[in-house]
Amino acid sequence: GTKKKAKCPGLGLFYTILSAFLFSVASLFLKKIEDVHSVEVSAFRCVFQMAFVLPGLIYYKTGFLGPKGKRIFLFFRGFLGSTAMVLLYYAYQVMPLADATVITFTSPVFTSLLAWIFLKEKYSLWDLLFTLFAITGVILIARPPFLFGSHFTGIEGSYTDHLKGTIAAIASTLSAASTIVILRKVGKSVHYFLSIWYYAVIGLIGCVIALFVMNEWRLPHCGRDRVFLILIGLLGLGGQIFLTKALQIEKAGPVSIMRTMDVVFAFILQVLFLNHLPTWWTVGGALCVVASSSGTAIRKWRHSVKKAKQREI
């Protein structure tokens, strides 16, 4: 469909920057929370999502299950989306904020790869090059001992936790990329609110089950942690709203490029509030990943513009 024209130039990009800032602050609050498991934080986030989406479902009369032929896709969208959230929150808790954020920005590259495998979309040599750039960036952040030796600087806690966080962040990115591929498959036949509803409901059910199995369910003892949980839910919801508004009035290409501000904010917040200076390995990995995701976004943007011109002709 045609995009609505912004009332003022650059409004969509401003919304994107604001969305990136809100997501980054929510990640900072997650780092500040003590003695609350990432699965429990994800459960609270799902509750906020449900509270926001429920009035929309009622207003637009979409129902709660969706079209019969699309329910299996919606289920996997909810399962993979909520899995990506839990894994990302775990990565934020056990590794530096900037490192985890950078790894998540490999998502566009893996989305292109999965779309080529499952949707038969075009995958060029440029896409392969961007994938290699992304993998290089992840290696610079993970710093496996067989390449970098056994002495590490700039990590939080033990290298074992750093490695677990890296694996969780990569798995989160792959789950998020799979979610995008599923949403492409579903297309516009399912309302956006219904997609988020599945994400929140399945995520909440999965988180509650996991918490009782792991015996990790507990109310935060500190009043500060409870405030942080509420703020994470509100900021995450606000970030998602502004990102959606940005995509409604701006092309996807510029929005994808501007979202790399997430990485910039993560570096700034990590230095200012966590007193943790990033290493040159992290900076190098960030440059590789940002170049990779930006290149992928620019190529898709140019391809969509070219197709639009061909339709006009």
pLDDT in tens, 103-153: 888 887 888 888 888 877 777 888 888 888 888 888 888 777 656 666 666
- Contact in structure between 304 and 264 (CB atoms under 8 Å): no
Token pair for 180? 């995008």
Q: Where does residue 23 rank: exposed (0-12), middle (13-18), buried (19+ CB within 10 A)? A: buried
CA distance 264 to 174: 22
Buried b (16+ CB within 10 A) or exposed e, 272-296: eeeebebbebbeebbbbbbbbbbbb
Residues of the chain falling short of pLDDT 70: 1-9, 145-157, 188, 221-222, 247-248, 252-253, 308, 310-313
Distance CA 82, CA 206 (A): 8
How many other C-beta atoms can be found within 10 angstroms of the C-beta atom of residue 247? 17
pLDDT of residue 259: 79
Give 248-274 pLDDT, tens digit per residue: 677 766 777 777 788 888 899 888 888
Give the phi and the psi of residue 144 in degrees, each rounded to 5: -60, 140
